[in-house]
Amino acid sequence: MIRGIITLLCVLFPATAFAGNAIKEISGYQKIDVVFSQNAHTCDLKDAKKFTEHLTKKLASLGIKQNENSVVVARLGIGGSSFGLIKGFCAVGTDLSFQTVLKSNNIVTKNQDVRAAVDRLGAFPVNLYSIGQFAVAPRVESVTAGKKQNKVDEKIYQMIDHMAEKIAQGKVKAN
């Protein structure tokens, strides 16, 4: 049984090693899931909608658009933790990944041990592409054009923009 699981892992991991080139094939996603870390609220990070809207625009500009029929989900992880004198700064991180699920009926094997393990597990999450960023931002607000803007939010927007630039470069290099 253990040998079968190890064999399965060996089969799956080589695909992960070459996943960097998968971005050229990604042209759509079903939805965007924004997931905040446990401490993100300490940096006033809690409104998923504004980050979803920003990411949607950035991906659309790259030709990656929302498609209800897609089996790919875009996942934006946002983490934050305040620190420093009176918690005046935030360490923030973002991770954008495109994920799908490989169902057990899509895996073919003659090995009965592997087949039993695959059938028992049912499905496997597959990460097609992932990119991340890390930064530090002050926990202050500014007023721009009469609109209050949190500096941590601005940093997250910048990080999304930078990840989109890297995705665009990956799409060009992959062609």
DSSP for 22-65, written as a single string: GGGG--EESEEEEEE-TTGGGGT---HHHHHHHHHHHHHHTT-E
pLDDT at 107: 84
Q: Output the six-digit token pair for 114.
A: 């592997």
0.75 exceeded by the pTM? Answer: yes
Per-residue pLDDT in tens (0 to 9) along the chain, 175 residues: 434 434 433 444 444 344 446 888 899 999 999 999 999 999 989 999 999 999 999 999 999 999 999 999 999 999 999 998 888 899 999 999 999 998 888 888 899 998 888 888 888 889 999 999 999 998 877 666 666 668 899 999 999 999 999 999 887 765 5
**Residue 132 DSSP label:** E
Cβ atoms of 96 and 121 within 8 Å: the answer is: no
State the Cα–Cα distance between residues 122 and 110, nearest whole angstrom.
17
How, if at all, do strands 89-103 and 65-66 pair? unpaired
How do the domains of the chain map onto residue ranges?
Answer: 2-174
Cβ atoms of 73 and 33 within 8 Å: the answer is: yes
State the Cα–Cα distance between residues 109 and 5, nearest whole angstrom.
12
| Residue from 82, 106, 105, 79 nearest 92 by CA | 79
pLDDT at 123: 85
Give SS3 for 110.
coil
pLDDT at 76: 98
**Residue 106 DSSP label:** G
Conformational region of residue 122, where left means phi above 0, alpha means psi within -120 to 50, and beta covers everything else: left
pLDDT at 91: 95
